[in-house]
Chain A
Protein backbone atom coordinates (compact mmCIF):
# COMPACT_ATOMS: atom_id res chain seq x y z
CA UNK A 1 0.00 0.00 0.00
CA UNK A 2 1.01 3.57 0.57
CA UNK A 3 1.18 5.86 3.55
CA UNK A 4 1.22 9.58 2.96
CA UNK A 5 1.77 12.13 5.70
CA UNK A 6 2.20 15.83 5.96
CA UNK A 7 4.80 17.21 8.31
CA UNK A 8 2.79 19.97 9.94
CA UNK A 9 -0.96 19.97 10.57
CA UNK A 10 -1.08 23.77 10.66
CA UNK A 11 0.97 26.57 9.16
CA UNK A 12 0.58 30.33 9.54
CA UNK A 13 2.30 32.80 7.25
CA UNK A 14 2.21 36.52 6.71
CA UNK A 15 0.56 37.78 3.55
CA UNK A 16 3.20 38.25 0.89
CA UNK A 17 5.59 35.67 2.33
CA UNK A 18 6.33 32.36 0.67
CA UNK A 19 4.76 29.18 2.07
CA UNK A 20 6.24 25.71 2.05
CA UNK A 21 4.14 22.66 2.79
CA UNK A 22 5.88 19.30 3.08
CA UNK A 23 4.73 15.77 2.51
CA UNK A 24 6.33 12.35 2.86
CA UNK A 25 5.29 9.10 1.24
CA UNK A 26 6.28 5.55 2.03
CA UNK A 27 6.16 3.57 -1.20
CA UNK A 28 9.12 4.06 -3.49
CA UNK A 29 7.02 2.71 -6.37
CA UNK A 30 4.74 5.74 -6.21
CA UNK A 31 5.11 7.54 -9.51
CA UNK A 32 2.45 10.22 -9.63
CA UNK A 33 1.74 12.93 -7.08
CA UNK A 34 -0.88 15.62 -6.78
CA UNK A 35 -1.37 18.59 -4.50
CA UNK A 36 -4.94 19.53 -3.71
CA UNK A 37 -6.39 22.60 -2.01
CA UNK A 38 -9.58 22.29 0.01
CA UNK A 39 -11.51 25.34 1.13
CA UNK A 40 -14.14 25.13 3.83
CA UNK A 41 -17.30 23.43 2.63
CA UNK A 42 -15.85 22.46 -0.73
CA UNK A 43 -14.26 19.45 -2.33
CA UNK A 44 -10.52 19.20 -2.91
CA UNK A 45 -9.33 21.18 -5.94
CA UNK A 46 -6.37 20.24 -8.08
CA UNK A 47 -3.40 22.59 -7.79
CA UNK A 48 -0.48 20.89 -9.49
CA UNK A 49 0.85 17.43 -10.21
CA UNK A 50 4.23 15.87 -10.84
CA UNK A 51 5.39 12.54 -12.19
CA UNK A 52 8.34 10.61 -10.84
CA UNK A 53 10.48 11.35 -13.89
CA UNK A 54 10.61 15.00 -12.80
CA UNK A 55 12.14 16.76 -9.80
CA UNK A 56 10.37 20.08 -10.12
CA UNK A 57 7.31 21.52 -11.72
CA UNK A 58 6.07 25.06 -11.69
CA UNK A 59 2.63 26.55 -12.04
CA UNK A 60 1.23 29.96 -11.39
CA UNK A 61 2.74 31.00 -8.03
CA UNK A 62 3.17 27.34 -7.06
CA UNK A 63 6.10 24.97 -7.36
CA UNK A 64 6.20 21.30 -6.48
CA UNK A 65 9.52 19.66 -5.66
CA UNK A 66 9.96 15.89 -5.60
CA UNK A 67 12.85 14.14 -3.87
CA UNK A 68 12.56 10.46 -4.67
CA UNK A 69 15.64 9.56 -2.66
CA UNK A 70 14.01 10.49 0.62
CA UNK A 71 10.42 10.08 -0.63
CA UNK A 72 9.50 13.65 0.02
CA UNK A 73 7.63 16.31 -1.87
CA UNK A 74 6.86 19.91 -1.11
CA UNK A 75 4.53 22.60 -2.30
CA UNK A 76 5.82 26.12 -2.43
CA UNK A 77 3.42 29.02 -2.75
CA UNK A 78 4.97 32.34 -3.69
CA UNK A 79 3.66 35.63 -2.33
CA UNK A 80 0.96 33.96 -0.27
CA UNK A 81 -2.41 35.69 -0.38
CA UNK A 82 -5.44 35.50 1.96
CA UNK A 83 -7.22 33.44 -0.70
CA UNK A 84 -4.59 30.75 -0.25
CA UNK A 85 -5.93 29.99 3.23
CA UNK A 86 -7.17 26.40 3.02
CA UNK A 87 -6.23 22.83 3.82
CA UNK A 88 -3.63 21.37 1.47
CA UNK A 89 -3.36 17.66 0.74
CA UNK A 90 -0.78 15.68 -1.11
CA UNK A 91 -1.80 12.47 -2.81
CA UNK A 92 0.28 9.66 -4.25
CA UNK A 93 -0.47 6.90 -6.70
CA UNK A 94 1.60 4.01 -7.91
CA UNK A 95 1.12 1.54 -10.72
CA UNK A 96 0.73 -1.48 -8.43
CA UNK A 97 -2.54 -0.12 -7.14
CA UNK A 98 -3.94 0.92 -10.49
CA UNK A 99 -5.74 4.21 -10.26
CA UNK A 100 -5.95 4.68 -6.51
CA UNK A 101 -4.81 7.85 -4.77
CA UNK A 102 -3.58 7.79 -1.19
CA UNK A 103 -4.07 11.08 0.62
CA UNK A 104 -2.12 12.67 3.42
CA UNK A 105 -3.88 14.13 6.45
CA UNK A 106 -3.66 17.72 5.28
CA UNK A 107 -1.95 20.94 6.36
CA UNK A 108 -4.15 23.87 7.29
CA UNK A 109 -2.61 27.07 5.95
CA UNK A 110 -3.65 30.37 7.50
CA UNK A 111 -2.54 33.58 5.84
CA UNK A 112 -2.27 36.52 8.22
CA UNK A 113 -3.12 39.85 6.54
Chain B
Protein backbone atom coordinates (compact mmCIF):
# COMPACT_ATOMS: atom_id res chain seq x y z
CA UNK B 1 0.00 0.00 0.00
CA UNK B 2 1.27 3.49 -0.83
CA UNK B 3 0.17 4.90 2.48
CA UNK B 4 -1.76 8.11 3.02
CA UNK B 5 -1.30 10.36 0.01
CA UNK B 6 -1.58 14.11 0.23
CA UNK B 7 -1.42 16.73 -2.47
CA UNK B 8 0.04 19.13 -3.13
CA UNK B 9 3.25 18.78 -1.08
CA UNK B 10 3.79 22.52 -1.15
CA UNK B 11 1.39 25.37 -1.78
CA UNK B 12 2.17 29.06 -1.90
CA UNK B 13 -0.77 31.38 -2.32
CA UNK B 14 -1.71 34.99 -1.85
CA UNK B 15 -3.86 36.16 1.00
CA UNK B 16 -7.53 36.00 0.10
CA UNK B 17 -7.20 33.11 -2.31
CA UNK B 18 -8.95 29.79 -1.91
CA UNK B 19 -6.78 26.82 -1.04
CA UNK B 20 -7.78 23.17 -1.36
CA UNK B 21 -5.74 20.39 0.20
CA UNK B 22 -6.36 16.79 -0.79
CA UNK B 23 -5.99 13.46 0.92
CA UNK B 24 -6.34 9.83 -0.06
CA UNK B 25 -6.45 7.58 3.02
CA UNK B 26 -5.18 4.03 3.18
CA UNK B 27 -7.62 1.69 1.51
CA UNK B 28 -9.88 0.00 4.05
CA UNK B 29 -9.36 2.56 6.79
CA UNK B 30 -12.60 4.00 8.08
CA UNK B 31 -11.37 7.05 9.99
CA UNK B 32 -9.64 10.10 8.57
CA UNK B 33 -8.07 13.00 10.43
CA UNK B 34 -6.88 16.44 9.41
CA UNK B 35 -4.14 17.98 11.58
CA UNK B 36 -2.34 21.31 11.43
CA UNK B 37 1.24 21.61 12.67
CA UNK B 38 2.96 24.84 13.64
CA UNK B 39 5.97 25.59 15.81
CA UNK B 40 3.83 27.48 18.29
CA UNK B 41 0.93 25.07 18.68
CA UNK B 42 2.33 21.71 17.65
CA UNK B 43 -0.06 19.16 16.12
CA UNK B 44 -3.67 20.29 16.35
CA UNK B 45 -6.59 18.10 15.35
CA UNK B 46 -8.86 20.08 13.04
CA UNK B 47 -11.51 17.51 12.19
CA UNK B 48 -12.01 13.81 11.94
CA UNK B 49 -14.34 11.61 9.92
CA UNK B 50 -15.62 8.14 10.65
CA UNK B 51 -17.13 6.23 7.74
CA UNK B 52 -17.09 9.48 5.73
CA UNK B 53 -19.16 11.34 8.35
CA UNK B 54 -17.62 14.29 10.24
CA UNK B 55 -17.58 13.32 13.91
CA UNK B 56 -15.81 16.23 15.55
CA UNK B 57 -14.96 19.52 13.86
CA UNK B 58 -14.42 21.51 17.04
CA UNK B 59 -10.79 22.03 16.08
CA UNK B 60 -11.62 23.86 12.87
CA UNK B 61 -10.39 27.40 13.54
CA UNK B 62 -13.21 29.34 11.95
CA UNK B 63 -15.75 29.37 9.16
CA UNK B 64 -13.04 29.94 6.59
CA UNK B 65 -12.11 26.28 7.02
CA UNK B 66 -14.23 23.46 5.67
CA UNK B 67 -13.63 19.77 5.09
CA UNK B 68 -15.44 17.15 3.09
CA UNK B 69 -15.20 13.43 2.58
CA UNK B 70 -17.41 12.52 -0.38
CA UNK B 71 -16.29 8.90 -0.36
CA UNK B 72 -14.05 6.50 1.52
CA UNK B 73 -11.02 7.23 -0.60
CA UNK B 74 -10.91 11.01 -0.77
CA UNK B 75 -11.09 14.05 1.48
CA UNK B 76 -10.49 17.75 1.03
CA UNK B 77 -9.67 20.59 3.40
CA UNK B 78 -10.54 23.99 2.02
CA UNK B 79 -9.57 27.42 3.28
CA UNK B 80 -11.46 30.35 1.82
CA UNK B 81 -10.27 33.06 2.05
CA UNK B 82 -6.76 32.18 3.15
CA UNK B 83 -4.78 34.38 5.54
CA UNK B 84 -1.06 34.52 6.40
CA UNK B 85 -1.75 33.00 9.84
CA UNK B 86 -2.99 29.85 8.09
CA UNK B 87 0.59 29.13 7.04
CA UNK B 88 1.45 25.72 8.49
CA UNK B 89 1.96 22.09 7.57
CA UNK B 90 -1.33 20.26 7.19
CA UNK B 91 -1.36 16.51 7.74
CA UNK B 92 -3.94 13.95 6.88
CA UNK B 93 -4.00 10.62 8.74
CA UNK B 94 -6.16 7.53 8.66
CA UNK B 95 -6.75 4.48 10.80
CA UNK B 96 -8.90 1.43 11.17
CA UNK B 97 -11.10 2.45 14.06
CA UNK B 98 -10.73 3.24 17.72
CA UNK B 99 -7.46 2.61 19.53
CA UNK B 100 -5.43 1.72 16.49
CA UNK B 101 -2.41 3.52 15.14
CA UNK B 102 -3.01 6.42 12.81
CA UNK B 103 -0.91 6.55 9.65
CA UNK B 104 0.13 10.00 8.49
CA UNK B 105 0.69 11.40 5.05
CA UNK B 106 3.74 13.46 4.15
CA UNK B 107 1.88 16.70 4.70
CA UNK B 108 1.16 19.83 2.69
CA UNK B 109 3.28 22.85 3.54
CA UNK B 110 1.05 25.88 3.04
CA UNK B 111 2.47 29.38 2.81
CA UNK B 112 0.07 32.31 2.54
CA UNK B 113 1.75 35.56 1.59
Contacts and interface: CB of A to CB of B under 8 A. Distances in A.
Interface of A: 31-32, 34, 36, 41-46, 49, 51, 89, 91, 93, 95, 97-106
B53 to A, nearest CB: 12
Contact of B42 (A32, A97, A104): A104
Contacts of B12: none
19 contacts: A32-B99, A34-B101, A34-B102, A41-B106, A42-B107, A45-B104, A49-B101, A89-B43, A91-B102, A97-B56, A98-B50, A99-B31, A99-B95, A99-B97, A103-B35, A103-B42, A103-B43, A105-B42, A106-B43
Nearest to A94: B99
A38 to B, nearest CB: 9
What interface size band does chain B fall in?
A: 20 to 34
Contact of B99 (A51, A89, A105): A51
A69 B99 CA distance: 21
Interface in B20-70: 31, 33, 35, 42-43, 45, 48, 50, 55-56
A20 to B, nearest CB: 21
A41 B9 CA distance: 10
A36 B45 CA distance: 15
Contact of B102 (A31, A42, A101): A101
Nearest to B31: A99
Given A34-B102, A100-B45, 4 more contacts: A46-B102, A49-B101, A51-B99, A95-B98
A98 B55 contact: yes
Contacts of B97: 99
